[in-house]
Structure 1
Amino acid sequence: MRVALVSVGDELLVGDTVNTNAAWLARQLTDRGVDVERVTVVPDRVDDIARVVNEYRAEYDTVLVTGGIGPTHDDVTMDAVAAAVGQSMEPSEAALEYIETQRGYAREDLTEGTAEIPADGEFIPNPVGVAPGCHVENIYVLPGVPEEMRGMFGEIAEQFSGTVKHTRTVTADEPESALLDRIEDLRERFDVAVGVYPGEDVRVKITGFDAATVESAASWLRERVEAPDGQSR
């Protein structure tokens, strides 16, 4: 499964808010064997959201959109997704019933449009907040508030799966540039992906579908790098 993540919000683009949602979702999906191939941030504008969602829904198996689904002036994500799939926005009776019976809000107290989703969309419960999520075609729309987003993802998590990859990490007390030849050799010898993360030490992340191959690759590299002080090979 190949997935694109779309984060909506002007606050993300100007740096007022850190995009923790994308990082959290990417980790959750990766752990389930899903390939996250795009993370895109767009402003609170219908045309921009609709254009990106429309492009990604044709290219990827699934598009996960977060942010901009509450009943305020800049919450336009549902309208944009409806435009992307060519559908009108309609009240969801399932969403209204859930909000009333499970979240304890009277219908008459809800802001107009709170429970509207694309006409052919399927309501996704929000166990933490009020704004409903939506699944329409291969698009999932989730809230931007991290607690709400995580709670709602729990409602749909089982729909995301793939072949889980195996990972090992080798830590080296050497500059990244000094490891280039050994990393290249590693890639030629083993059917694995390699990521290098410099810091106080350099972490080399080795990933692959076969556990034995990943373990062999990690052992091979571990024997050929300088281990940090106090760390055994």
Structure 2
Amino acid sequence: MRVAVVTVGDELLVGETVNTNAAWLGEQLRDRGVTVERMTTLPDRTGDIARVVNEYHAEYDAVIVTGGLGPTHDDVTIEGVAAAFGREAVESEEAVEWLAEHGGYSHAELADGTGEIPAGSRPLPNHEGVAPGCVVENCYVLPGVPTEMKRMFAEVADDFEGETRHVVTVDAAEPESALLDRIQRVRELFPVKVGSYPGEYVTVRFEGTDTEAVEDAAAWLRERVEPVAE
């Protein structure tokens, strides 16, 4: 399963808020065997959201959009997603009834636009907040507040599944450039994905659906690099 993640918010683009949602979703999806192929951050601008969601929903099995839900002037995600699918944003009777029953909000207490989702989409209840999310075709729209997003993702997590991937890392006390020949060789010998990440030392990461092949590849390289001192 191939997925794109879209996070919305001007505050993410200027660094006022750290984009923890993208990292958390990437980890959750990876653990479910899902391949995340795009992570895109957009401003609070309807046209940008509509354009990117329209492109991604056609290209990927699913799109997850977080942020920009609610009734304030810069909460335009629902409007943008609705436009991406050629729909209108309309008040969801089901969402408003849920808020009344579980949140204790009367219709008069809700700010204008609070219960709006794209026409024909399935509302997702917000157990940690107010603004509902929704599912429209293969697009999942979640809140930007991390606690709300995580709780709502739990409602739809079973929709995301793939082949479980095994990961093993090897740390080497050598420059990355010195490891190039051995990394190339291990890629030739084993059907696994290999990545190298320099820092205080180099971490070589092996990933694949064949557990034995991943373990064998890691063992092969581990025997041929200078280990990091304990």
TM-score (norm: length of structure 1)? 0.97
What are the within-5 Å matches in structure 2 for residues 63-142 of structure 1?
63-142=63-142
Deviates more, 1:74-83 or 1:85-94: 85-94
TM-superposed CA distance for 1:186, in Å, is 0.5
Code of the aligned partner of 1:30: R
CA distance in 1, matches of 2:97, 2:202: 53
Moved more, 192-201 or 157-166: 192-201
Q: Distance in 1 between matches of 2:225 and 2:6?
A: 39
Q: Which residue in 2 is equivalent to 1:29?
A: 29
Question: Residue 102 of structure 1 aligns to a residue in which SS?
Answer: helix
Root-mean-square deviation over aligned CA pairs: 0.8
Runs of 4+ in 1 over 3 A off after TM superposition: none
Is the 8 Å Cα contact of residues 88 and 119 (structure 2) preserved in structure 1? yes
> Is 1:143 paired with 2:143?
yes
C-alpha separation in 2, matches of 1:70 and 1:181: 53
Q: In structure 2, what is the Cα distance between the partners aligned to 1:201 and 1:97?
A: 55
What's the secondary structure of 2:130's corresponding residue? coil
How many angstroms does 1:106 deviate by? 2.3
Which residue does 2:171 correspond to in 1? Answer: 171
| Structure 1 portions without partners, runs of 5+ | none
Shift of 1:96: 1.0
Q: Secondary structure at the match of 1:135?
A: strand
Gaps of 5+ in 2: none
Deviation, 1:126, is 1.1
**Match in the other structure for 1:195:** 195
1:147-187 residue CA offsets vs partner (Å, 9 max, x unmatched):
11111101110110000101111111111111111000000
The total of aligned residue pairs comes to 230
Identity %: 63
The TM-score with structure 2 as length reference comes to 0.98
